[in-house]
């Protein structure tokens, strides 16, 4: 749909990957397949891609990447969509904790974790949100108390995607109640097989149960599993969210392209001038959102570290994706009834899934505040009820 030339070198890289994909076709996943088969296929496909050298190509060579830029990484994502590839399983490792370990981890942590993130032999979940700490993340209460050799973690996380399949969790925990609330936080790598962890699935509106509540009861975490320094967790968490809003969002943006492609081939839309006009508007918006994301990727390729501008990518994509999903429902004549097991048809599933996208990785309101204060430099206003 959107075709921007990214330079000769990048385009020859694209052709090289296309060639590999022709020889190694992506496995097929039926949209109504079970979560187990989604996991199994996602894991083995990621392993195959890693063996071919196509996972996290922007990571340094020493830790298993190819030392390329985020432009080449974006090309890999685009070509996977073009080839109707299923989602790889280890997305949180590849797009969040992996980049964080490269930036803030010790050489030992990098050697220990990164290769297993690449080939999905270890899968990660993100333990940030808590029942009383979502937008106000620094309000979190899960404690990590010092003990011999490390910490004991006690508390609760919520909305933890894929915690029930994850081997590891990167979590933000409170190591001190003194001072400002964001100062007493520490970033820990928690082995999900440790004693004292209970994971309970939560059913989503889509019928899927990829979400979980996770309870920690005096879970031991060795001191080697602290990323950065004790009390430095806020800085590292912010860096995780910046990567999430840039790298993971780029991958997610391609979901708009998949939806728009299927709408473009819909005859009833083509024949209806009003719908055709609206579809053209959705396509134009999706193209401008992608062009903005490319401009950020080009800056990162020149050495800039992802910053608050990722909130623009995240906000514009998630809101336009919701409008596309809603348009697809209005124009598709789709059956709204869910199956007995709660499973939804393709367009309905996409519509319901899209609702959560303006909440996950920070709600739209929070993204707007970040854009206002940290991208545009507008003054921070606080309102008090009289
Ligand atoms: C699909 C999905 C996947 C997720 N996966 C994970 C995961 O894997 N790991 C994880 O840790 N978390 C995950 N989350 C949680 C997500 O990060 C939080 O839901 C999100 O940060 C919002 O927090 P909250 O749900 O507590 O809502 P709240 O923070 O309670 O917000 C409620 C409402 O108030 C608004 N609001 C709150 N504060 C402000 C403010 N200062 N200014 C203006 N408006 C405000 C919000 O925009 C929202 O509309 C996921 C969420 C979703 C939907």
Mean pLDDT of the chain, nearest integer? 90
Q: Indicate the DSSP class of residue 183.
A: G
Does residue 201 share a domain with residue 87? no
**What is the position in ligand 1's atom list of the atom closest to the CA of 127?**
11
pLDDT at 347: 85
Closest CA to 233 of 350, 143, 310, 339: 143
Closest CA to 50 of 29, 66, 30, 37: 66
- CATH number of the CATH domain containing 105: 1.10.540.10
Q: Give one word for 185, left, alpha or beta, with left for phi > 0 and alpha for psi -120 to 50.
A: beta
Q: Helices (DSSP H) in 98-174: which residue ranges?
A: 98-104, 107-118
Distance 373 CA to ligand 1 centre (A): 19
Does residue 349 share a domain with residue 239? yes
**What is the position in ligand 1's atom list of the atom closest to the CA of 365?**
47
Q: 380 in a domain, yes or no?
A: no
Q: In terms of pLDDT, which residue wins out, 335 or 109?
A: 109
Query: Residue 126: CB within 6 Å of ligand 1?
Result: yes
Does residue 341 share a domain with residue 354? yes
381: pLDDT strictly greater than 90: no
Does residue 241 share a domain with residue 226? no
Query: Residue 359: CB within 6 Å of ligand 1?
Result: yes
Measured distance CA(204)–CA(103) in Å, rounded: 34
Q: 261 in a domain, yes or no?
A: yes
Q: 53 in a domain, yes or no?
A: yes
pLDDT at 7: 78
Q: Whose CA is nearest to atom 25 of ligand 1?
A: 134
Query: Residue 160: CB within 6 Å of ligand 1?
Result: yes
Query: Residue 139: CB within 6 Å of ligand 1?
Result: no
3-state class of 152 per DSSP? strand
Q: Where does the pLDDT of residue 158 fall: very low under 50, low under 70, confident under 90, or very high at 90 and above?
A: very high
Q: 129 in a domain, yes or no?
A: yes
Query: Residue 212: CB within 6 Å of ligand 1?
Result: no
Domain that holds residue 209: 124-231
Q: Where does the pLDDT of residue 31 fall: very low under 50, low under 70, confident under 90, or very high at 90 and above?
A: low
Closest CA to 279 of 260, 254, 302, 305: 260
pLDDT at 137: 94
Specify the number of domains making up the chain.
3
Q: Which of 85-94, 154-163, 247-256 is predicted least confidently?
A: 247-256
Does residue 176 share a domain with residue 45? no
Q: Whose CA is nearest to atom 35 of ligand 1?
A: 365
Of 231, 253, 285, the residue at which a domain comes to its end is: 231
Does residue 244 share a domain with residue 306? yes
15: pLDDT strictly greater than 90: yes
Q: 2 in a domain, yes or no?
A: no
Closest CA to 121 of 153, 77, 162, 167: 167
Average pLDDT rounded to a whole number, residues 231-241:
92
Q: 385 in a domain, yes or no?
A: no
pLDDT at 6: 73
Q: In terms of pLDDT, which residue wins out, 236 or 334?
A: 236
Does residue 25 share a domain with residue 101? yes
Measured distance CA(35)–CA(87) in Å, rounded: 12
Does residue 244 share a domain with residue 181? no
Q: 252 in a domain, yes or no?
A: yes
- The two tokens of residue 175 are 């190591």
Does residue 70 share a domain with residue 33? yes
Q: Helices (DSSP H) in 66-199: which residue ranges?
A: 70-82, 91-92, 98-104, 107-118
Of 174, 208, 231, the residue at which a domain comes to its end is: 231
Measured distance CA(378)–CA(273) in Å, rounded: 41
3-state class of 3 per DSSP? coil
**What is the position in ligand 1's atom list of the atom closest to the CA of 363?**
47
Does residue 241 share a domain with residue 367? yes
Query: Residue 366: CB within 6 Å of ligand 1?
Result: yes
Q: 197 in a domain, yes or no?
A: yes
Q: Whose CA is nearest to atom 27 of ligand 1?
A: 134
**What is the position in ligand 1's atom list of the atom closest to the CA of 364?**
47
Measured distance CA(380)–CA(360) in Å, rounded: 24
- Say what percent of the chain tops pLDDT 90: 69
Distance 275 CA to ligand 1 centre (A): 33
Query: Residue 150: CB within 6 Å of ligand 1?
Result: no
Mutate to test the pocket of ligand 1, among 129, 161, 202 (most ligand atoms within 8 A of CB): 129
Does residue 252 share a domain with residue 206? no
- pTM for the full model? 0.92
> Residue 307 in contact with residue 242, Cβ under 8 Å?
yes
* Strands 197-202, 168-174: pairing kind: unpaired
**What is the position in ligand 1's atom list of the atom closest to the CA of 361?**
17
State the catalytic residues: 244
- CATH number of the CATH domain containing 208: 2.40.110.10
pLDDT digits 0-9 by tens, 238-291: 988 888 877 778 878 888 988 998 899 989 998 999 999 999 999 999 999 989
Place of tokens 């303006």: 358
Q: Where does the pLDDT of residue 346 fall: very low under 50, low under 70, confident under 90, or very high at 90 and above?
A: confident
Does residue 324 share a domain with residue 262? yes
Of 174, 198, 231, the residue at which a domain comes to its end is: 231
């Amino acid at each position: 749909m959107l075709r921007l030339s990214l330079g000769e070198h990048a385009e020859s890289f694209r052709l090289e990957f296309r060639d590999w994909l022709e020889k190694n076709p992506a496995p097929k996943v039926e949209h109504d397949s079970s979560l187990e088969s989604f996991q199994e296929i996602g894991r083995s496909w990621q392993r195959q891609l890693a063996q071919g050298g196509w996972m996290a190509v922007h990571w340094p060579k020493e830790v298993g990447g190819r030392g390329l830029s985020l432009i080449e990484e974006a090309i890999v994502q685009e070509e996977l969509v073009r080839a109707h590839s299923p989602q790889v399983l280890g997305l949180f490792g590849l797009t969040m904790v992996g980049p964080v370990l490269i930036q803030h981890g010790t050489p030992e942590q990098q050697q220990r974790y990164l290769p297993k993130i690449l080939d999905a032999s270890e899968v990660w979940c993100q333990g940030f949100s808590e029942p009383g700490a979502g937008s106000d993340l620094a309000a979190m209460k899960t404690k990590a108390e010092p003990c011999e050799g490390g910490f004991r973690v006690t508390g609760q996380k919520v909305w933890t995607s894929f915690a029930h399949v994850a081997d590891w969790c990167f979590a933000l925990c409170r190591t001190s109640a003194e001072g400002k609330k964001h100062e007493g936080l520490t970033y820990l790598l928690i082995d999900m097989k440790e004693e004292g962890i209970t994971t309970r699935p939560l059913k989503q509106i889509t019928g899927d149960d990829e979400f979980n509540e996770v309870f920690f009861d005096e879970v031991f975490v060795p001191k080697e599993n602290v990323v950065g320094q004790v009390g430095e967790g806020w800085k590292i968490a912010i860096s995780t969210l910046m990567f999430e809003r840039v790298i993971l969002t780029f991958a997610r943006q391609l979901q708009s392209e998949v939806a728009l492609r299927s709408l473009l081939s819909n005859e009833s839309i083509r024949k209806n001038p009003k719908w055709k006009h609206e579809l053209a508007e959705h396509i134009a918006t999706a193209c401008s959102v992608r062009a903005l994301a490319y401009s950020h990727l080009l800056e990162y390729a020149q050495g800039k570290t992802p910053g608050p501008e990722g909130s623009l990518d995240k906000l514009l994509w998630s809101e336009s994706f919701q409008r596309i999903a809603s348009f697809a429902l209005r124009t598709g004549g789709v059956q709204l009834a869910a199956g007995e097991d709660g499973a939804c048809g393709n367009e309905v599933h996409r519509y319901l899934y899209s609702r959560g996208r303006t909440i996950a990785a920070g709600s739209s309101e929070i993204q707007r505040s970040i854009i206002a204060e940290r991208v545009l430099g507008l003054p921070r206003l606080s309102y008090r009820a009289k």
